[in-house]
Amino acid sequence: MALQKLSGTDAFVVIDLDGAPIADGVVRLARKVLVDGARNLARSRTYAWALLGEQISGASAGINAEGDAREAACAAFVEELTPQVSAGTLSLDPAKGLTSTDLAGLTAADQRSTVLHDDPTLHDRLLASGVVAAASVALGSLDGATIALEGAGSATDAVESAFVAAGSTIAGRDADALSSAADALVCGSKVGLVDHETAAELPHRVIVPVGPLPVTARGLAVARRRDIVVLPDFLTTAGPLMAFRSNGTSADDLLATAADRISGLTAELTDHPDGPLLGACIRAETYLATWRDELPFGRPLA
């Protein structure tokens, strides 16, 4: 794992697989973005790309700024990283604390598909497509299913609409979702949301992440003992990755691809003896071993 500290502002970039030909991930801005948290996010993205059979490393960046210093920090961040983005070795999307406008210079330099940039709704629709596809496989059917929806952020409307279109009912939202009786908990407001104590009280039979790393390692152990199926976040949230370097592909085709690939992988992992999350880790590591001399240390769990 490589850590690049920027010289023009208080910011950094974590590259999970040092020496990988391409690194892809997100940027967050806050008063203090923790490097350890960025490492975890980068690892989750690495495993997502590995599940999809791509030699791409996860990345995660942080900009430490607030108030009046925010604009200048973003400008310095964009200026310093534009050469790497222009070269096609690094791709970064805005996440918590940032908008696409803040990183417009990187967007303009990015060698990936312009589809997501041309259609500002597509990212959320691709996310929703993958989440709903995974949930459908795990539950057997979404027709008549009940869903507790927590932490989907800007994608909340897209995710809710996709579940309703599939015949499901939203039975609980946000703060009430963890305690709302429902077939599935769709969650992702923060890393480590479902710890061992929370997992012991959940009334759901499936956890479907809509954000990165919502389940801790101890939370997973408790959920498995209670026969709660925990799907891997690096699979359920992979819908937007289908747009990576996809120029010429229509939005409809990308949405269909996201649903097909994520439902197919979920089906393959559902009956894994170690559960779908650990099964997905093993599958990703098997692929990583085909092009890396050493596997990264530590799995994508909070």
For residue 119, what pLDDT is reported? 84
Collapsed DSSP state (helix, strand, coil) of residue 24: strand
Average pLDDT over residues 38-47: 97
For residue 225, what pLDDT is reported? 97
| Sequence spans of domains, the chain | 2-111, 122-282
For residue 113, what pLDDT is reported? 63
User: Do the domains at 2-111 and 122-282 have one common CATH topology?
Assistant: yes
Q: Which residues contact 189 (CB under 8 A, 6 or more apart)?
A: 150, 151, 153, 174, 211, 214
Return the structure tokens found at 160. 């809710």
C-alpha distances in Å from residue 281, one per residue of 43, 159, 175, 278, 288: 11, 25, 30, 5, 10
Q: Mean pLDDT across the chain, nearest whole number?
A: 95
Fold of the CATH domain 2-111: Rossmann fold (3.40.50)
72 pLDDT band (50/70/90 cuts)? Answer: very high
pLDDT in tens, 225-256: 999 999 999 999 999 999 887 777 899 999 99
Distance between CA atoms of residues 189 and 96, nearest Å: 11
CATH of domain 122-282: 3.40.50.720
> Strand ranges (DSSP E) for the chain?
2-5, 11-15, 23-30, 57-64, 90-94, 146-149, 169-173, 184-187, 206-209, 229-230
Residue 112 above 90 pLDDT? no
pLDDT in tens, 84-95: 999 999 999 999
Average pLDDT over residues 150-172: 96
Distance between CA atoms of residues 245 and 234, nearest Å: 19
CA–chain centroid gap for 122, Å, is 15
For residue 117, what pLDDT is reported? 75
Q: Which helix (H) or strand (E) holds 88?
A: none
Collapsed DSSP state (helix, strand, coil) of residue 190: coil
83 pLDDT band (50/70/90 cuts)? Answer: very high
Q: Which residues contact 210 (CB under 8 A, 6 or more apart)?
A: 127, 131, 149, 151, 152, 155, 159, 186, 187, 188, 236, 237
How much of the chain exceeds pLDDT 90, in percent?
Answer: 89
Average pLDDT over residues 40-54: 97
123 pLDDT band (50/70/90 cuts)? Answer: very high
Residue 212 above 70 pLDDT? yes
Residue 169 has, within 13 A of its CA and on its CB side, a CA count of 8
Residue 221 has, within 13 A of its CA and on its CB side, a CA count of 6
Distance between CA atoms of residues 63 and 96, nearest Å: 11
How much of the chain exceeds pLDDT 70, in percent?
Answer: 99
Name the more confident of 111 and 45. 45
Distance between CA atoms of residues 289 and 27, nearest Å: 27
